[in-house]
C-alpha cells in the first residue's frame, strides 16, 4: 500500500464504479448537444476576484469554502468552486457574444473544489455537468434548461426527484424586498456573523441550514409578494412553458440558492433519498453577472448538475444503469507464435470497433481464462500451436461454455456478426 492517501474530503474514481460516473455525464450532456449547446472547458483555477465579485463576497463559498492561494509570481488565484463565472469569463474574453448569434449556448463538465465538512454527498472535490445560455432574456430559455435537465435525469431512469421553482425578482423589485427582509431579521435572535450577513445580503440568511435559524424564519416576508409586474409575468411564462412540456415542479417561495448572482428564475433539483444533502443540481437566471465581472449587459441563465449526487440518487432508487461492455472479446494465446498471431487479431478487432483485450504477461491457460472471466468478456479467443497449424482459432462463448473452431481469416467477421 502507498504511504500516501487521497486528501480528506476527496475520492478516487476507480473501475467498475467509474463507469457509472461516465454514463451519468454522458446522459446529462446528450440532450444539451442535441439542443445547440457547444462544449467549453476552462482552467481549474481562476483569479480570486472573479469569484469574489460573481459568486458574492458574503457567500459561504467565498468566505469559508474557497481554496485560495498566492502564486510564486504574486497572483491571487482560487480553485474553481463553481462553473458559471469561469464559463462567462471565457465567453467574454473570446468575444463570443459579439459573433451576432445570441444566445451563446455552452455546456461543460469538470471537477470543482470547496473546503467543506466532508460527509456523504458533500465532498471537497466534486464533479458537475453544467449548461449556460448567455446573452438573451427569454422565459423560453429558462424553461428549456429546466426541461433538458428533467429529460437527462429521466433518461437515466431517475424518477423520485422533485423540481423546486422560484423567482428572486430583479434590480427593480428586489431592493424593496431586501429592506423588508432586513427589518424582519433585525428583530430575531441571531448571532453576530448572521446579523452581519443580513446587512450585506439578507437573502443568504434564508439559505442558512441551521435549525436554530430556520425556526425563526417562519414569519419572514416572501419575495413573491414583492415582485414587480414584469417579474411576475416573466415567472408565469416560465411556469406555463415548463408545465406545457409535461414537466412537474413545485413552487418554493423560500428557494434562494447559495450564490449572489441569481435574478428572477431560480430552481433546484432535489432527491429525498439523499437525506440532508438532498440537492442533486440547480441553477437559475443571472442577468447582472456579466456586468459584475466587467463585461457588457448579457442576461443569461444556466444550471449545474452534480454527477456525484446523481449517482447517489440512482443508488437510492436502486436503478442499475446499462453500462457498455469494456471488453467483448478476450484473447488467450498459448505459446510465443500464438501470442504474435493473436495480438495482431486483437488489433484488427479493435480497428473494427470490437472491444477486445489480451492475456498479457505470459499467463497459462487456467490463469488466462480466469482473467477472461473477470473482464466480463462475452467471448474468449484461444489459440495454441495445433490451432495455428490448422489455420483456426477456438471461439468460446463465456456464457454457455460452447467452444467452436473458426477459420483465422473468418474470426473478425464472425465476432462482428455475433456481437451485432
Q: Looking at residue 1, what is its pLDDT?
A: 66
Q: Looking at residue 255, what is its pLDDT?
A: 87
Looking at the structure, do residues 244 and 354 belong to the same domain, yes or no? no
Where residue 218 falls among pLDDT bands split at 50, 70, 90?
confident
Query: Average pLDDT, stretch 274-298?
Result: 90
Looking at the structure, do residues 56 and 145 belong to the same domain, yes or no? yes
- Residue 208 above 90 pLDDT? no
Looking at the structure, do residues 306 and 369 belong to the same domain, yes or no? no
Q: Looking at residue 201, what is its pLDDT?
A: 79
Q: Residue 79 is placed in which grid cell? A: 480553485
Q: Looking at residue 326, what is its pLDDT?
A: 85
How many domains would you assign to the chain?
2
Query: Average pLDDT, stretch 97-111?
Result: 93
Contact 321, 99 (CB under 8 A): no
Looking at the structure, do residues 385 and 282 belong to the same domain, yes or no? no
Q: Looking at residue 57, what is its pLDDT?
A: 64
Contact 18, 26 (CB under 8 A): no
Looking at the structure, do residues 343 and 368 belong to the same domain, yes or no? yes
Q: Looking at residue 204, what is its pLDDT?
A: 77
Q: Residue 129 is placed in which grid cell? A: 455537468
- Residue 355 above 90 pLDDT? yes
- Residue 132 above 90 pLDDT? yes
Looking at the structure, do residues 369 and 271 belong to the same domain, yes or no? no
Query: What secondary structure does DSSP assign to 71-118, as a single string?
Result: -TTS-EEEE-S-SHHHHHHHHHHTTGGGSS-PSEEEEEEEEEE-----
Domain of residue 359, CATH code:
3.40.50.800
How far is the C-alpha of 134 from the C-alpha of 106, rounded, in Å?
8
Q: Looking at residue 420, what is its pLDDT?
A: 81
- Residue 152 above 90 pLDDT? yes
Query: Of 283, 317, 351, which residue sits at a domain end?
Result: 317
**Higher pLDDT among residues 277 and 3, named by residue:** 3
Q: Looking at residue 269, what is its pLDDT?
A: 97
Q: Looking at residue 178, what is its pLDDT?
A: 86
Where residue 34 falls among pLDDT bands split at 50, 70, 90?
very high
Query: Average pLDDT, stretch 318-342?
Result: 92
Q: Which domain holds residue 57?
A: 17-173+227-317
Where residue 415 falls among pLDDT bands split at 50, 70, 90?
very high
With respect to residue 180, please indicate whether it lies within any of the assigned structural domains.
no
Q: Looking at residue 189, what is its pLDDT?
A: 86
Looking at the structure, do residues 74 and 131 belong to the same domain, yes or no? yes
Query: What secondary structure does DSSP assign to 136-170, as a single string?
Result: ---HHHHHHHHHHHHHHHHHTT--SEEEEEEE---
pTM over 0.85: yes
How far is the C-alpha of 122 from the C-alpha of 45, rounded, in Å?
20
With respect to residue 197, please indicate whether it lies within any of the assigned structural domains.
no
Looking at the structure, do residues 165 and 294 belong to the same domain, yes or no? yes
How far is the C-alpha of 218 from the C-alpha of 253, rounded, in Å?
12
With respect to residue 153, please indicate whether it lies within any of the assigned structural domains.
yes
Looking at the structure, do residues 334 and 357 belong to the same domain, yes or no? yes
With respect to residue 103, please indicate whether it lies within any of the assigned structural domains.
yes
Q: Looking at residue 259, what is its pLDDT?
A: 65
Q: Looking at residue 62, what is its pLDDT?
A: 76
Query: Of 317, 351, 378, which residue sits at a domain end?
Result: 317
- Of 21, 132, 137, 17, whose CA–CA distance to 82 is shortest? 132
Query: Of 265, 294, 317, which residue sits at a domain end?
Result: 317
With respect to residue 212, please indicate whether it lies within any of the assigned structural domains.
no
With respect to residue 202, please indicate whether it lies within any of the assigned structural domains.
no
Domain of residue 278, CATH code:
3.30.930.10
With respect to residue 9, please indicate whether it lies within any of the assigned structural domains.
no
> pLDDT over 70 for what percent of the chain?
98
- Residue 59 above 70 pLDDT? no
> pLDDT over 90 for what percent of the chain?
71
Looking at the structure, do residues 168 and 238 belong to the same domain, yes or no? yes
pLDDT tens digit string along 168-182? Answer: 999 888 888 889 988
With respect to residue 324, please indicate whether it lies within any of the assigned structural domains.
no
Looking at the structure, do residues 280 and 398 belong to the same domain, yes or no? no
How far is the C-alpha of 25 from the C-alpha of 258, rounded, in Å?
23
- Residue 56 above 80 pLDDT? no
What is the three-class DSSP state of 7?
coil
The strand ranges marked E within 114-259 are: 125-134, 161-167, 250-251
Looking at the structure, do residues 127 and 254 belong to the same domain, yes or no? yes
How far is the C-alpha of 321 from the C-alpha of 24, rounded, in Å?
9
Amino acid at each position: 500500500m502507498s504511504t500516501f492517501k487521497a486528501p480528506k474530503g476527496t475520492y478516487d474514481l476507480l473501475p467498475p464504479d467509474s463507469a457509472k460516473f461516465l454514463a451519468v455525464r454522458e446522459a446529462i450532456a446528450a440532450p444539451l448537444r442535441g439542443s445547440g449547446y457547444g462544449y467549453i472547458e476552462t482552467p481549474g483555477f481562476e483569479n480570486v476576484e472573479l469569484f469574489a465579485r460573481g459568486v458574492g463576497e458574503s457567500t459561504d463559498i467565498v468566505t469559508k469554502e474557497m481554496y485560495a492561494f498566492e502564486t510564486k509570481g504574486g497572483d491571487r488565484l482560487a480553485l474553481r468552486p463553481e462553473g458559471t463565472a469561469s464559463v462567462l469569463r471565457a465567453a467574454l474574453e473570446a468575444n463570443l457574444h459579439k459573433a451576432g448569434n445570441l444566445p451563446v449556448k455552452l455546456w461543460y463538465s469538470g471537477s470543482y473544489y470547496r473546503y467543506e465538512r466532508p460527509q456523504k454527498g458533500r465532498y471537497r472535490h466534486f464533479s458537475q455537468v453544467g449548461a449556460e445560455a448567455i446573452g438573451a432574456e427569454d422565459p423560453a430559455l429558462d424553461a428549456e434548461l429546466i426541461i433538458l435537465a428533467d429529460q437527462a435525469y429521466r433518461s437515466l431512469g431517475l424518477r423520485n426527484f422533485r423540481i423546486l421553482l422560484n423567482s428572486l425578482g430583479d434590480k427593480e423589485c428586489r431592493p424593496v424586498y431586501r429592506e423588508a427582509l432586513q427589518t424582519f431579521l433585525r428583530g430575531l435572535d441571531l448571532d453576530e456573523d448572521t446579523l452581519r450577513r443580513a446587512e450585506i445580503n439578507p437573502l443568504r440568511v434564508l439559505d442558512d441550514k441551521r435549525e436554530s435559524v430556520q425556526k425563526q424564519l417562519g414569519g419572514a416576508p416572501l419575495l413573491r409578494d414583492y415582485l414587480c409586474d414584469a417579474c411576475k409575468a416573466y415567472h408565469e411564462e416560465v411556469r406555463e412553458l415548463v408545465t406545457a412540456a409535461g414537466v412537474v415542479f413545485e413552487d418554493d417561495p423560500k428557494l434562494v440558492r447559495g450564490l449572489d448572482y441569481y435574478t428572477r428564475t431560480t430552481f433546484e433539483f432535489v432527491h429525498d433519498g439523499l437525506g440532508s444533502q438532498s440537492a442533486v443540481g440547480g441553477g437559475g437566471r443571472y442577468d447582472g453577472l456579466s456586468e459584475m465581472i466587467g463585461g457588457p449587459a448579457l442576461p443569461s441563465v444556466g444550471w449545474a448538475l452534480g454527477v456525484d449526487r446523481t449517482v447517489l440518487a440512482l443508488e437510492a432508487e436502486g436503478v442499475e444503469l446499462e453500462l457498455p461492455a469494456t471488453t467483448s472479446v478476450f484473447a488467450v494465446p498459448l505459446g510465443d507464435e500464438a501470442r504474435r498471431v493473436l495480438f495482431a487479431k486483437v488489433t484488427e478487432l479493435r480497428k473494427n470497433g470490437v472491444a477486445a483485450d489480451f492475456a498479457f504477461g505470459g499467463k497459462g491457460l487456467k490463469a488466462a481464462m480466469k482473467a477472461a472471466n473477470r473482464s466480463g468478456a462475452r467471448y474468449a479467443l484461444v489459440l495454441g500451436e495445433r490451432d495455428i497449424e490448422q489455420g483456426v482459432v477456438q471461439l468460446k462463448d463465456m456464457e454457455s461454455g460452447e467452444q467452436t473452431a473458426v477459420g483465422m481469416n473468418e474470426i473478425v467477421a464472425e465476432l462482428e456478426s455475433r456481437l451485432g
